[in-house]
Structure 1
Amino acid sequence: MDTVKGRSALEIMTGAGVLAVAAAFLFYAVAHGGRGAQPGGMLLTAQFDRIDGLVNGADVRIAGVKVGSVVSSSIDPQSFNAVVGMRVDRSLRLPSDSSAEVSSDGLLGGKYLSIVPGGAERVLAEGGRITETQGSVSLESLLGRFIFSVTQMNQPAAANAETAAPATAAPR
């Protein structure tokens, strides 16, 4: 009976240790996950026709390297476009003609904001606006256009086949 009690206590201690290590990993991931805003970063805005799937906390990247985070999204009441606020690393000195586009981490991946630096001498300041933008591309829309174009291409071929084949009547 003592062996069973000793074994149970050992199993409980091992389980508690595993839970403590898992909690430590979870704490580290939340604290250092990089999904929060860049507190010392420079606030910039950009306006897009659509931002499907881009959420607050999403990465802002240059050449695939994370340089900031999306901090807000709203609708411009005049143009009905999406206005995205982002904080980026203040040390970057982005040219004023830089562009931004909503990109995807693959077919099923999340969305992020990709900035392509321009070549202008002037740089964006705190509160600056990136004016050259490209919104997200809807996969459903692209698929619908492809299916529509394929059916349009096949319709004339089917119509030509019907008119080209002469109707043959059996002699009486």
Structure 2
Amino acid sequence: MLSKEEIQRYDRQIKLNAVGLEGQLALKNAKILIVGAGGLGCPALQYLAAAGIGKISIMDGDTIGISNLQRQILFSTNELGRLKAIVACEKVKQINPHIHVQAIPKFLDARTALEIFSDHDLILDCTDNFASRYLINDVFNIVQTTICFGRLTQI
């Protein structure tokens, strides 16, 4: 069920034939894990939160460095040295207070991936290294959760 405020917030999406009220409720019930809160993960988080994804988990064990600030648009200078997952969680809650956001401030590893992945409908791979991508793919083959691989590359 959507509250009156949520219906107002998502009005433009609900009016789309491809979404409607039923689609918006599906978004509210969705559980998405974003692995990597960097240059790709930051804008993905913003858009998914604004769209009304009901549960977003943010997994990243890295801290914010000054070289991150020109491309990781959730972060600012006064947050240098803080954990990306924690700060991203705080910012996403400000974007949309109607959703549940969970910070997982650690790097992906084989011991925790299986448990964490199986609790989500979709895994969005926003990592920047092949070791993580291979691990995500390996876990996918076990849990069969939908995975979307994203990548930024130098041209």
TM-score (norm 2): 0.26
Q: Which has the higher contact order (CA 8 A, sep 6+)?
A: 2
Look at both structures and tell me which one has the larger radius of gyration over its CA atoms. 1
Please identify which structure carries the higher helix content. 2
TM-score (norm 1): 0.24
Please identify which structure carries the higher strand content. 1
